[in-house]
Structure formats: C-alpha cells, structure tokens
Amino acid sequence: MLNIWNTILYQPLLNALAFLVSIVPGGDVGIAVIILTILVKIVLFPLSQKSIEGQAEMNILAPEINKIKASGVSKEEQARQTFDLYKKHNTNPFSGCLLVLIQIPVIFALYFVFLKGINFEGGFLYSFIPTPPHINMIFLGFLDITQKSLVLAILAGISQYLQAYFMPKPVVSSSTGSSFSDNFTKSMGMQMKYIFPFIIAFIAYSISGAVALYWITSNLFMVGQQIYVKKEKNFKIVIK
C-alpha cells in the first residue's frame, strides 16, 4: 500500500515540486509551493466544482424539501416525494460526498510533500528530474518556511474562515421542531466556521511555513471557486 501511495501520488507531486523549484526565480520554494498547490487544485477543479454545485443545488431545492417535510404525510411518502424532486432536477444528494472522498488522497499527498518532501535527496526524483541547483527556503526574501511562522499561521486561519464562510450552507429543515440531524448540521457548520480556523492556524504554526502556505493557497482558491459557483447558480436561477 505504501509503494502504491508513493508511486501514484507522493512521488509525482514531489518531482513536480522539484521541477518548479528549479525554474522559479531564485529557487524560491515558497513560490513553488504556491504554484504546485494551484496546479493540483486546477486538476481537481472539475471534481470540486461538481461537489460545490451539488451542495448549491441542494440549497436551491431546500424550500421544496421543507414543504414536503411540513406536509404531514408519512415518512415513506416524504422519501418518495423527495426522491422525485431530486430526479426532476437531476440532483444526487450523495454525489458531493463521493467527489470529496476522491479528492482526499490527492490533497493528503500534496500535504505530505510539503510536510516532509522539501529534501530532494531521498531517492524519489525521476531520472529526468535533476535536483534543483539552488533551493531557497526564504519565501520572498523574509519568511523562512522551514520554521514556524506566526504570520503565515494567522493567514492560514483567516483563509480557512473565509473558505467556510463562502461554503454553500447545508440544507436544514425550517420546521419548528428541529430534528437531531438539523441540530447536528447547524453545530458542524458553526464549528467549521468558528473553531476549525483556529485548529488550522495551530497546526500551521506547529509544523512549518510551507504547510501554512499550502493551506492559504488552497483555501483562497476554494473561496474563488465557491464565489464563482454561487454567481453562476444565481445567474441560472434568474434565467429560468
């Protein structure tokens, strides 16, 4: 399993980072980290786009779903009507989860490249990828990304908050008697928005500036993508 992980995910990303370090001005590893993160996010764009769009579509259907829940019909009839609603609008409520699961191994591999892959002497480089002649760990000339960085950690936390802020809100019943699932959904949303950014900031500060740069770049890319999806969905609603 470890060999599969290294061959399919870790090694290609490490080699991509080595190549970028060799071509960016001054061998700035921080700039290479940002570029590689953006490239990976672009490759994953179709999957993450479908996931965000799926959640946005669920939110659009939320009023209809709430009407079904408030109709007073049996649970079986509610399930049937809800299924028909999804079918009518060609929406799969579980597609977003599946697409997120597909992305997780790639994201973790990218994370581990920045966590332990800055050293290119481990024998993982391909024969056609030379070891970068100059490796500069001082990002933009003043931030050592091998060390803890309070500035980058704070920015990582802020970017995580923005990512959670612009994330499509999950569907919650509008009925007066909130169910356990609704309360759980609200609780998770609050934690993702107000607690998780502190966790990310703490992790980013505890490890290194390279990981913090990864989180900042990844989160800001997602913010832009979420804003794009929201505008696109609103435009489609207006057209309809």
Confidence of residue 235 (pLDDT cuts 50, 70, 90): very low
* Rg, Å, the chain Cα set: 21
pLDDT value, residue 176? 46
Give me the residue label for tokens 């191994």.
Answer: 105
What percent of the chain is modeled with pLDDT above 90? 12
Confidence of residue 158 (pLDDT cuts 50, 70, 90): very high
| pLDDT per position as a tens digit, 38-85 | 998 898 888 777 777 767 677 677 777 778 777 777 778 778 888 777
Q: How far is CA 67 from CA 54, 63, 85, 90, in A?
A: 20, 6, 12, 19
Question: Phi, psi (5° rounding) for residue 15?
Answer: -65, -40
Strands (E) across the chain are located at: 138-139, 143-144
pLDDT at residue 182 above 60?
no
Surface-to-core class of residue 30, CB atoms within 10 Å of its CB (0-12 exposed, 13-18 middle, 19+ buried): buried
pTM assigned to the model:
0.74
Q: Which of 153-157, 166-170, 195-199 has the lowest mean pLDDT?
A: 166-170
Q: Domain containing 193: what range? A: 2-239
Helix (H, G, I), strand (E, B) or coil at 136: strand
Strand partners, 28: 136
Number of structural domains found in the chain = 1
